[in-house]
């Protein structure tokens, strides 16, 4: 089970390249290093199961989570490319894709975001992040967040499955979000829906979450 991960949220201009590279080293290359270690023996034994804790943000990018989403997209692409070869050796690969999870990990990301310096971006972007994104994120976590125990139960079901699924989303509230992307290959439907959700109907979103 590959579960190591770090988070990052905020305007792109305010993130250092070093911090981005460090995040990718943990979230993506950490997984690659682990798989390189365990896969050869699994192939020799013709049996094994690699379970990766991914994220719904590996399927759908979220505003102000550019680099974190990129790392999870990399995880998804890596596993999707590898799964067919692995199956030839009777090795299963499963991606567990949670939405928000109420942990110290998430709390730390948002505490750091609230204290960060946003002078390197324009005032409008800084205002959108602090007064729209952070406020909405707190409501999302309070309303839709899962416990670590719930994610562990989902992961256990994937491990014990007779035919392990390649992808397993833990929160049905995010299924429509992921489906928007597949409904319109041009991306216009998804982009328009998210733009309106963030900039036109944010008050309605907060009210409905509460």
Six token digits for residue 97: 């894709």
d(CA 179, CA 173) in angstroms, rounded, equals 11
**Rounded CA gap, 168 and 53, in Å?**
10
Query: How far does Cα 198 stand from its chain's mean position?
Result: 19
**3-state secondary structure at position 2:** strand
- Angle at CA of residue 151, ends 147 and 154, nearest 5°: 140
- Which of 3, 106, 113, 95 has the alpha carbon at shortest distance from 49? 95
Q: How far apart are CA 183 and CA 52, in angstroms?
A: 26
Residue 118 annotated in active site: no
Task: Considering the candidates 68, 110, 118, 195, report the single residue annotated as catalytic.
Answer: 68
**43-81 as b/e, with b when 16 or more CB fall inside 10 Å?**
beeeebbbbbbbbbbbbbbbbbbbbbbbbbbbbbebbee
Residues with catalytic function: 68
């Amino acid at each position: 089970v590959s579960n190591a991960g770090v988070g990052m949220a905020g305007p792109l201009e305010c993130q250092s390249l070093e911090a981005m590279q460090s995040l990718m080293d943990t979230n993506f290359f950490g997984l690659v290093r682990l798989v390189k270690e365990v896969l050869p023996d699994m192939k020799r034994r013709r049996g094994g199961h690699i379970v990766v804790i991914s994220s719904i943000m590996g399927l759908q990018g979220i505003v102000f989570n550019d680099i974190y989403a990129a790392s999870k997209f990399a995880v998804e692409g890596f596993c999707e490319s590898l799964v067919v070869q692995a199956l030839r050796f009777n090795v299963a690969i499963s991606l567990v894709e949670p939405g928000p999870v109420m942990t110290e990990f998430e709390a730390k990301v948002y505490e750091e975001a609230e204290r960060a310096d946003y002078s390197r971006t324009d005032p409008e972007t800084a205002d959108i992040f602090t007064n729209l994104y952070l406020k909405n994120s707190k409501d999302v976590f309070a309303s839709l967040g899962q416990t670590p125990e719930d994610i562990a139960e989902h992961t256990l079901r994937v491990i014990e499955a007779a035919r392990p699924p390649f992808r397993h989303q833990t929160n049905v509230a995010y299924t429509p979000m992921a489906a928007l992307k597949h409904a319109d290959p041009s991306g216009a439907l998804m982009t328009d829906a998210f733009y309106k959700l963030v900039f036109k109907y944010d008050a309605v979103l907060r009210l409905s979450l509460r």
